[in-house]
């Protein structure tokens, strides 16, 4: 058995991967990824290497899976005239192969359509001994390119919501139920039960409604438990690294206020306690039945965000903490940003009691998908904060409707987020600049300067995810003129597809100016004409959705948020007071 790790001696000279090299797979399951590695090496050097299962080969890139030597992650090591890529599992060996392509072969996948080959010779230094363990076990984001399998393999995305990674390439971490809001929809569904059993559903203002479940009803627990087991009988894969069943509240705040639920809420100090008691009960049964690679997921979202007292999640329960109320122009640990201070308290609290804490985070403006969302200054610090609070998985929800045109830096943001998942402490500025060069060509430099201006100015205002364009980014007229110049320069410098990319990204800037009546939109006589031109240009890209909901609904969404999340504790106390009378 060949093993780089058991040999301490290092040969003196660097390894040059020439045409006489082979890619060797040490077990049949590694053959597909060995073939893929040979293909990419062919694209770099012009010589596609042959692939072999003969581990006695000299001059080889050897792929191994050995959980005994590598507890979690992978190692890339040079030894003699061979290179060894060893992973703790198939998925980690696959990651090792893609890391090898990036680090040693100069292959970078910036978008699903842009893979850059920056070297024509592959040199592996003689002293190479590079180890990596993943920072997060689960990573996902939407946007455009992350839906592509090859992009996801290069950039380490492994959630199943937006991509299918074949099992021979390590597969995905699957939510084998729905992804969220499953209670009343998928489990104990309102369609099936509400008419015959309204008492299974939440009581509000004296009425049972199919908004949420009544979690203290033992029959509800029995039904959901049985439905979870039915799902496991159909979809459980014992070979998978991890499978997740989501038991998550519906997307409204009308949780049950029947006497029994209120008593449990009171006992734990938060409705999250009532939810956790319910999910824990099912999790214990799933564990007893031997489903060791299955985790039960629940939300810490809106009214279940506050950490309960006197109860902790079972080891096989994952809590997904959602940052929907947060501000994204200030880092989560910014003591001057009140909404973030309150979130940090909950993040801290959950991290202390939960062994598997995930985050559902946000990175776009849902009332203005095309408008500037200046969160570039907070992405890295926030990812570090998650990691430092024992977070094991992150989903960055962006503009999931993006399917035709990259406006509002969707491709850049997706790339940076993916890279931060791989390592929150990396040189993100270098990643950004590499992306800008690959995507905007010679225009990238000016787009970078524009990003610097909006990033520097972003902290002057708070930045919610439904906020009007007029109250987010604040720029002086001098800065606006400077930004206009930078976009002009970028368009002039870029060529071919890069020029189109510049124009599409500039739509976000024009959209911001339109909403703020700035620059060419400041002249009331020409406003309508310029707005019509911008509208035509946006429509021409095929963008179908400008926002998640109509402006009116977006307005009410903001209002709803303001009302329920600023005044919610007060309203809740009044409601509870009335019902206790």
Q: Which is nearer to Zn ion, 214 or 307 (CB)?
A: 214
The answer to the question of residue 261 lying near Zn ion (CB under 5 A) is yes
Interface stretch with Zn ion, choices 74-82, 298-306, 412-420, 454-462 (CB under 5 A): 454-462
Number of residues near Zn ion (by CB under 5 A): 9
Interface stretch with Zn ion, choices 330-338, 353-361, 409-417, 496-504 (CB under 5 A): 330-338
Task: Give which of 360, 330, 362 is closest to 346, Cα–Cα.
Answer: 360
Q: Which is nearer to Zn ion, 40 or 328 (CB)?
A: 328
Residues 6+ apart with CB under 8 A from 122: 16, 17, 41, 44, 45, 104, 105
Least CB distance from residue 179 to Zn ion, whole Å? Answer: 25
The answer to the question of residue 327 lying near Zn ion (CB under 5 A) is yes
Residues in region 347-366 near Zn ion by CB under 5 A: none
Least CB distance from residue 526 to Zn ion, whole Å? Answer: 35
Least CB distance from residue 189 to Zn ion, whole Å? Answer: 17
Q: Which is nearer to Zn ion, 48 or 209 (CB)?
A: 209
Least CB distance from residue 461 to Zn ion, whole Å? Answer: 8
The answer to the question of residue 416 lying near Zn ion (CB under 5 A) is no
Lookup: tokens for 228: 């979870």
Which of 37, 44, 337, 554 touches Zn ion (CB under 5 A)?
337
Residues 6+ apart with CB under 8 A from 488: none
CA dihedral (476, 490, 112, 454) in degrees, to 10, reads -10
In whole angstroms, give the CA distance from residue 184 to residue 402.
Answer: 29
Q: Which is nearer to Zn ion, 79 or 211 (CB)?
A: 211
Least CB distance from residue 575 to Zn ion, whole Å? Answer: 14
Least CB distance from residue 214 to Zn ion, whole Å? Answer: 3
Interface stretch with Zn ion, choices 117-125, 331-339, 408-416, 551-559 (CB under 5 A): 331-339
Secondary structure E strands in 156-250: 174-175, 201-204, 207-213, 243-246
The answer to the question of residue 258 lying near Zn ion (CB under 5 A) is yes
Give the Cα-Cα-Cα angle 312, 316, 318 (nearest 5 degrees).
70
Residues in region 177-216 near Zn ion by CB under 5 A: 214, 216
CA atoms within 13 A on the CB side of 185: 13
Q: Which is nearer to Zn ion, 151 or 201 (CB)?
A: 201
The answer to the question of residue 220 lying near Zn ion (CB under 5 A) is no
**What does the DSSP assignment read for 424-445?**
TTS-HHHHHHHHHHHHHGGGHH
Q: Which is nearer to Zn ion, 196 or 336 (CB)?
A: 336
Which of 95, 392, 432, 462 touches Zn ion (CB under 5 A)?
462
Interface stretch with Zn ion, choices 79-87, 252-260, 310-318, 550-558 (CB under 5 A): 252-260
Q: Contacts from 510-516 at CB under 8 Å and sequence distance 24+? A: 510/534, 510/537, 511/368, 511/370, 511/371, 511/372, 511/407, 511/469, 511/538, 512/371, 512/372, 512/469, 512/473, 513/480, 515/368, 515/371, 515/468, 515/469, 515/470, 516/469, 516/470
The answer to the question of residue 232 lying near Zn ion (CB under 5 A) is no
In whole angstroms, give the CA distance from residue 200 to residue 192.
Answer: 11
Cβ(487)–Cβ(450) under 8 Å? yes
Cβ(547)–Cβ(367) under 8 Å? yes
Q: Which is nearer to Zn ion, 28 or 335 (CB)?
A: 335
Q: Which is nearer to Zn ion, 219 or 544 (CB)?
A: 219
Task: Give which of 395, 387, 333 is closest to 359, Cα–Cα.
Answer: 395
The answer to the question of residue 247 lying near Zn ion (CB under 5 A) is no
In whole angstroms, give the CA distance from residue 216 to residue 267.
Answer: 13
Residues pairing with 64 in the sheet: 86
Which of 77, 224, 256, 296 touches Zn ion (CB under 5 A)?
256
Residues pairing with 175 in the sheet: 244
Cβ(122)–Cβ(18) under 8 Å? no
Least CB distance from residue 264 to Zn ion, whole Å? Answer: 9
Least CB distance from residue 327 to Zn ion, whole Å? Answer: 3
Q: Which is nearer to Zn ion, 156 or 377 (CB)?
A: 377
Interface stretch with Zn ion, choices 328-336, 432-440, 446-454, 513-521 (CB under 5 A): 328-336
Helix and strand tally (H, E) in the chain? 17, 19
Least CB distance from residue 250 to Zn ion, whole Å? Answer: 14
In whole angstroms, give the CA distance from residue 283 to residue 316.
Answer: 6
Q: Which is nearer to Zn ion, 460 or 545 (CB)?
A: 460
Q: Which is nearer to Zn ion, 33 or 327 (CB)?
A: 327
Instruction: Give the DSSP H or E segment for 103.
Output: helix 90-105
Interface stretch with Zn ion, choices 149-157, 280-288, 335-343, 498-506 (CB under 5 A): 335-343
Interface stretch with Zn ion, choices 218-226, 308-316, 321-329, 481-489 (CB under 5 A): 321-329
- Taking CB atoms, the residue at the shortest distance from Zn ion is 327
Least CB distance from residue 29 to Zn ion, whole Å? Answer: 48
Which of 36, 95, 320, 330 touches Zn ion (CB under 5 A)?
330
Percentages of the chain per state (helix, strand, coil), in multiples of 5: 45, 15, 40
Least CB distance from residue 206 to Zn ion, whole Å? Answer: 13
Least CB distance from residue 159 to Zn ion, whole Å? Answer: 28
Q: Which is nearer to Zn ion, 209 or 426 (CB)?
A: 209
In whole angstroms, give the CA distance from residue 474 to residue 463.
Answer: 11
- Site of interaction with Zn ion (CB under 5 A): 214, 216, 256, 258, 261, 327, 330, 337, 462
């Amino acid at each position: 058995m060949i093993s780089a790790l058991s040999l301490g001696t290092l040969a003196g000279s660097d390894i040059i991967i020439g045409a006489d090299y082979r890619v060797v797979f040490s077990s049949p399951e590694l053959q597909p990824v060995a073939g893929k590695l040979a293909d990419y090496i062919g694209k770099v050097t012009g010589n596609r290497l042959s692939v072999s299962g003969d581990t006695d080969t000299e001059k080889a890139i050897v792929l191994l899976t050995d959980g005994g030597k590598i507890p979690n992650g992978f190692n890339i090591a040079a030894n003699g005239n061979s290179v060894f890529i060893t992973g703790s599992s198939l998925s980690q060996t696959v990651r090792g192969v893609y890391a090898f392509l990036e680090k040693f072969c100069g292959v970078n996948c910036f978008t699903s359509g842009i893979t850059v080959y920056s070297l024509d010779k592959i040199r592996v230094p003689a002293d190479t001994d590079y180890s990596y363990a993943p920072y997060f076990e689960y990573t996902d984001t939407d946007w455009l390119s992350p839906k592509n399998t090859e992009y996801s393999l290069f950039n380490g995305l492994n959630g199943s919501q937006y991509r299918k990674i074949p099992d021979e390439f390590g597969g995905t971490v699957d939510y084998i139920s729905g992804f969220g809001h499953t209670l009343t929809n998928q489990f104990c569904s309102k369609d099936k039960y509400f008419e015959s059993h309204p008492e299974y559903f939440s009581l509000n203002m004296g009425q049972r409604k199919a908004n949420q479940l009544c979690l203290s009803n033992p029959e509800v627990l029995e039904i959901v438990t049985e439905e979870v087991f039915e799902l496991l009988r159909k979809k459980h894969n014992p070979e998978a690294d991890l499978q997740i069943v989501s038991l998550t509240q519906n997307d409204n705040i009308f949780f049950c206020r029947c006497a029994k639920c209120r008593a449990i809420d009171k006992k734990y100090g938060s409705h999250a306690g009532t939810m956790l008691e319910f999910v824990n009960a099912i999790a214990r049964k799933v564990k007893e039945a031997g489903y060791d690679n299955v985790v039960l997921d629940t939300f810490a979202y809106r009214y279940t965000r506050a950490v309960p007292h006197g109860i902790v999640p079972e080891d096989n329960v994952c809590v997904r903490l959602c940052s929907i109320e947060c501000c994204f122009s200030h880092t989560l640990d910014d003591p001057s940003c009140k909404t973030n201070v309150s979130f940090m308290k909950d993040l801290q609290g959950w991290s202390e009691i939960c062994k598997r804490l995930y985050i559902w985070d946000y990175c776009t403006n849902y009332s203005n998908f095309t408008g500037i969302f200046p969160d570039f200054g907070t992405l890295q610090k926030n990812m570090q904060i998650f990691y430092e609070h024992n977070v094991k998985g992150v989903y960055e929800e962006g503009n999931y409707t993006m399917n035709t045109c990259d406006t509002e830096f969707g491709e850049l943001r997706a790339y940076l987020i993916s890279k931060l998942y791989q390592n929150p402490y990396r040189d993100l500025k270098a990643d950004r600049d590499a992306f800008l060069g690959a995507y905007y060509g010679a225009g990238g430099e000016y787009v970078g300067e524009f990003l610097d201006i909006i990033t520097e100015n972003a902290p002057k205002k708070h930045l919610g995810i439904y906020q009007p364009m007029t109250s987010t980014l604040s720029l002086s007229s001098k800065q606006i003129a400077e930004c206009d110049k930078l976009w002009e320069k970028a368009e002039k410098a870029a060529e071919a597809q890069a020029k189109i990319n510049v124009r599409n990204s500039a739509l976000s800037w024009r959209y911001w100016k339109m909403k703020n009546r700035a620059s060419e939109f400041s002249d009331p006589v020409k406003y309508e004409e310029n707005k019509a031109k911008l509208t035509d240009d946006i429509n021409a890209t095929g963008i179908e959705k400008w926002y998640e909901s109509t402006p009116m609904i977006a307005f009410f969404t903001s209002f709803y948020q303001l009302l329920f999340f600023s005044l919610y504790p007060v309203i809740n106390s009044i409601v509870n007071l009335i019902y206790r009378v």
